Amino acid sequence: MQADLRSWKRGKRVRLEEEIRDLERQLATKQLEYLEMEGQIEEAIPNHVLIGSTGPVHLSALFDHRTELIIFHVMAECEFCDVWLSSMQSIANRLRGQVALAIVSPEPLDRLRERASAHQWSLPYYSSASSNFSEAMGFAHDDGEAAGLLVCQLQEENIYVAAKAPLGPAPFCSMWILGDLLRGKG
């Protein structure tokens, strides 16, 4: 009787794991389809004012005489964002000189400065706390905040979003999945 129950549970677990993998594949496909449609904003976006270590700065200044800017948008007080961003440092270092790079968060600058120092971020960071940049780019909304990548292009004096990818459990960031696996284990 016990052996039959264990065998039934193992079989059920295997079936559930297969169903989950199938749903994850479907979700990843749908997310990529969504990103293809969502990514580009055809009209110019405002030249938002962010707060940097030297004070207010226009979004256009972040391009640093380049035509492309990659923004790593992180949520306020998010440990997973910190780990994700720290893991992106080597990629960012490879991109230096080719494109402009920046970190943006809706977190106030003083707390963002503490995070940057604690995690030894080498990229310039800016707070969007005094503007609606995070909301306008879809990274802050009524349901909370989101992390993600934003690729902007500067054409003459206009700024366009070339690509946008919100990050979450899939397909880009396994840190949320790892966190869920570890929850309650320590």
- Provide Rg for the chain, Cα atoms: 20
Task: Give the model confidence (pLDDT) of 48-90 as tens digits.
Answer: 999 999 999 999 999 999 999 999 999 888 888 888 788 777 7
What's the pTM?
A: 0.70
Could you state, in order of their start, the residue ranges of all structural domains in the chain? 2-34, 41-167
Q: Which CATH superfamily is domain 41-167 in?
A: Glutaredoxin (3.40.30.10)
Task: Give the model confidence (pLDDT) of 9-47 as tens digits.
Answer: 888 888 988 888 888 778 767 766 665 655 555 678 999
Strand order in the sheet with 125-127: 41-45, 158-167, 147-155, 68-73, 100-105, 125-127, 49-52, 55-58
